[in-house]
Amino acid sequence: MSTSTARIGLDIGGTATRIALVAATDVVDAVTISTPTSHTTAVTELRTAIESLLQRAARPIAGIGIGASGPIDRDGVIRNEDTLPALTGIDLPNALGAAFGVPVVVDNDAVTAALAEYRVGAGTGAAAMLLLTLGTGVGVAVVRRGAILRGGDGLHAEAGHITVPNGPAPCYCGRATCLEQTASRSGLQRRARAATGVPDLQELRRSATTDAAARRVLEDYGTRVGEGIIELATQYRPDRVVLGGSAATLLPAFADAMQQTVSAMTSAPVPEITGTALDDLGGAIGAALLTATEEQS
């Protein structure tokens, strides 16, 4: 175990929150809790989970990093009524900073996952890495030459809401055919439930070996993910694409359809596509790394 300065990283998703105690890039300890659903108890729930990690490890920390589905404003306050209503509007940097006496940094969860993949995961060595997280929603981040690509205002672009063809339903973002609705784990589960009655992802994967309807759902999903990659690759021209999030665990089942779709692209070089090397804890590791990055900036 590393004796480097320890930091806490939180990866706050729509349904689950992963919290890791990280020294350098080594995970010392970790816990997963349900993402808070009550605005009044959200900070207490997060603080209690962090305290439990620190009590077990019996070591000080230098900072807390948080990745959450955006938008995130300049002050690190989550502004996401649609997927994180209980945490929207809460000043987590001040609330958790006061509780633990350390700096707290909040950024988009795709940013934190991308930092981890680029530095110690599947994106290592890429000139330009595009990360897609396929979870409750779709997160997108681009790392070029070690730096996160951001907008002119310094904030992270919500590229998971680009328009793609044949969306199943309108998105809360206002678009009728949105990548988040077609490529998210939630979208896959909706289509699986409608076509097969089986929303569980691993059961869907097992069923696909014998059930033509389940197989078609996964092939269609692969095509939709591939269409999203084409749109994003046309804009950002990455040499590597990394897929994370819970739906990426099914990559072997939809990879052929996705790759076939992307291989037809002529608007940009066809990138290498791979799954995450960090599994569920990548976002939390990246959030911890984010605190060290902020100190150096």
Per-residue pLDDT tens over the stretch 86-129: 999 999 999 999 999 999 999 999 999 999 999 999 999 999 99
What is the total residue count of the chain?
Answer: 297
Maximum Cα interatomic distance, the chain, rounded to a whole number of Å: 56
DSSP 175: -
Exposed e or buried b per residue across 151-184, where buried means at least 16 C-beta atoms within 10 angstroms of its C-beta: eeeeebbbbbbbebeebeeebebebebbbbbbbb
CB burial class (10 A; 0-12, 13-18, 19+) of residue 252?
A: exposed
- pLDDT for position 167: 59
How far is Cα 237 from Cα 227, in angstroms, rounded to an integer?
Answer: 14
Take residue 31 and report the two structure tokens written for it: 């816990």
- pLDDT for position 145: 86
Q: Is the pLDDT of residue 292 over 90?
A: no
Mean pLDDT of 174-201: 84
Q: Is the pLDDT of residue 65 over 50?
A: yes
- pLDDT for position 57: 87
How far is Cα 22 from Cα 113, in angstroms, rounded to an integer?
Answer: 14
Q: Is the pLDDT of residue 18 over 70?
A: yes
More confident residue, 119 or 163: 119
Measured CA distances, 163 to 47, 105, 106 (Å)? 38, 30, 27
Q: Is the pLDDT of residue 296 over 60?
A: no
CA nearest to 17, candidates 46, 40, 39, 44: 46
Take residue 149 and report the two structure tokens written for it: 């690509």
Q: Is the pLDDT of residue 176 over 70?
A: no
- pLDDT for position 184: 86
More confident residue, 228 or 169: 228
Mean pLDDT of 223-252: 93
How far is Cα 34 from Cα 16, in angstroms, rounded to an integer?
Answer: 5
Give the CA-trace dihedral at 145, 147, 151, 154, to 10 degrees. Answer: -150
Mean pLDDT of 140-156: 82
Q: What's the mean per-residue pLDDT of the chain?
A: 89
Signed CA dihedral, 13, 19, 25, 29: sign only: negative
Mean pLDDT of 218-242: 94
Single pTM value for the model: 0.86
71 cis-preceded (ω within 30 degrees of 0): yes
